[in-house]
Amino acid sequence: MAFDCVVLVKQVPDTKAVTDQAMNEDGTVNRGALPAIFNPEDLNALELALQIKEKYGGTATVVTMGPPKAAEVLREALYRGADRVILLTDRRCAASDTLATSYILSCAVRKLDQYDIVLCGRQAIDGDTAQVGPQLAEKLNLPQVTYVEELLDLQPNAITVKRNTGAGWEKIRAPLPALLTVMDTANQPRPPGAKRMMKFKNARSRSEWAKNGVIETKKLASLQERGLLIEQWNLDDIQADLERCGQTGSPTQVHRIQNVILTTGAYKKVEPTKEGIRQMVRELIEDHTIG
């Protein structure tokens, strides 16, 4: 009994580190100024795939869509135990909303053709939408189980999980193949392994090797042999319909972006003294806020 897992991951700006310097003048966020990290809940999805692989056998393939820089999260996935990593990068993906993104990812997963379980993090911290997982499931015509907190059982044709319903939990059995979105409470992602780090620290995508001047087919082939060439696909490789990608494939458009500026309302300064506090309480009683 072995299972092939595909994990979809995203490199995201660390939104906890947003400062004034990270904003452009037009109000958009300058992603370049923020540290880029492995989306936290995608690490939980990867961890679940690795646990399945360890317990039952099989493979863990990690796919990310993003700029060439996103190869960084693929290296991190290799350090943690992924068998195969794929960078899906193409300028024509830019400005894709969740619908276009899920379409593109569905083409990539289809190209893999052999999979039992597709795993995503519940949501990414830059958008917090939680939409790509369910949309991808619909596009692949797979049953979906979102908000997964625990793997309970795995059989050749079915997976049983516990999911959080907001108001409690459910135990659900889904036929395979299926798509799961995984919560941060599901597990504790393992740290990168030292040996694997040594082995894969020089793994690079074709674009990255080209930047370092490595373009000869022969050299690339030898790198591939040693597991140091990260697979790279573009929209043509996955036979995506360009009408459904990028801005043209995206129903939603950003109309306006505003920075959150907490407006300084002129608040009443209350002295921390007995009298100051009594006065405030009196006012709150008078306007019927309390009492």
Partner 1 sequence: MVKVNRQGEVWIFAEQQDGKLSDVPLELLSKGRSLADQLSVKLSAVLGGFNVKPLSDELIAHGADKVYLVEDPLLQDYQTTSYAKMLCQLIEKHQPQIVLYGATVLGRDLAPRVASALKAGLTADCTDLQIGDYTELKTKNTHKNLMLQIRPAFGGNIIATIVNYDWWPQMATVREGVMPLPERNGNLKGEIVTESIALSPQDFPLEILQRHRREKKVNLKGARIIVAGGAGVGSRENFRRIWDLANCLGAAVGGSRAAVDLGFIGHDHQVGQTGTTVRPALYIAVGISGAVQHAAGMAEAAKIVAINNNPDAPIFQIAHYGIVGDLNDVVPRLIKAIRSKQ
Ligand X SMILES: Cc1cc2nc3c(=O)[nH]c(=O)nc-3n(C[C@H](O)[C@H](O)[C@H](O)COP(=O)(O)OP(=O)(O)OC[C@H]3O[C@@H](n4cnc5c(N)ncnc54)[C@H](O)[C@@H]3O)c2cc1C
For binding to ligand X (CB under 6 A), which residues are involved?
16, 125
Binder of residue 172, out of ligand X, partner 1, none (CB less than 5 to 8 A by kind): partner 1
Binder of residue 267, out of partner 1, ligand X, none (CB less than 5 to 8 A by kind): partner 1
CA distance 47 to 58: 14
Strand order in the sheet with 158-164: 158-164, 144-155, 178-182, 117-121, 3-9, 58-65, 84-88, 229-233, 204-205
125 versus 214: smaller Cβ distance to ligand X? 125
- What residue is closest to ligand X based on CB? 16
Q: Which amino acid is at 131?
A: Q
Binder of residue 179, out of partner 1, ligand X, none (CB less than 5 to 8 A by kind): none
12 versus 161: smaller Cβ distance to ligand X? 12
Binder of residue 99, out of partner 1, ligand X, none (CB less than 5 to 8 A by kind): partner 1
Measure Cα distances from 255 to 68, 92, 155, 244 in Å. Answer: 27, 21, 47, 20
Q: How far is the CB of 227 from partner 1 (least distance, A)?
A: 35
How far is Cα of residue 267 from the mean position of the Cα atoms in its chain?
41
Binder of residue 68, out of ligand X, partner 1, none (CB less than 5 to 8 A by kind): none
- Of 166, 154, 92, nearest to 119 (Cα)? 154
Residues 6+ apart with CB under 8 A from 259: 23, 27
Q: How far is the CB of 86 from partner 1 (least distance, A)?
A: 22
Binder of residue 135, out of partner 1, ligand X, none (CB less than 5 to 8 A by kind): partner 1
75 versus 139: smaller Cβ distance to partner 1? 139
Q: How far is the CB of 177 from partner 1 (least distance, A)?
A: 11
95 versus 125: smaller Cβ distance to ligand X? 125
Q: How far is the CB of 43 from partner 1 (least distance, A)?
A: 17
CA distance 63 to 61: 7
CA distance 10 to 12: 6
Q: How far is the CB of 105 from partner 1 (least distance, A)?
A: 11
Q: How far is the CB of 54 from partner 1 (least distance, A)?
A: 25
The structure tokens listed for 274 are 């007995």
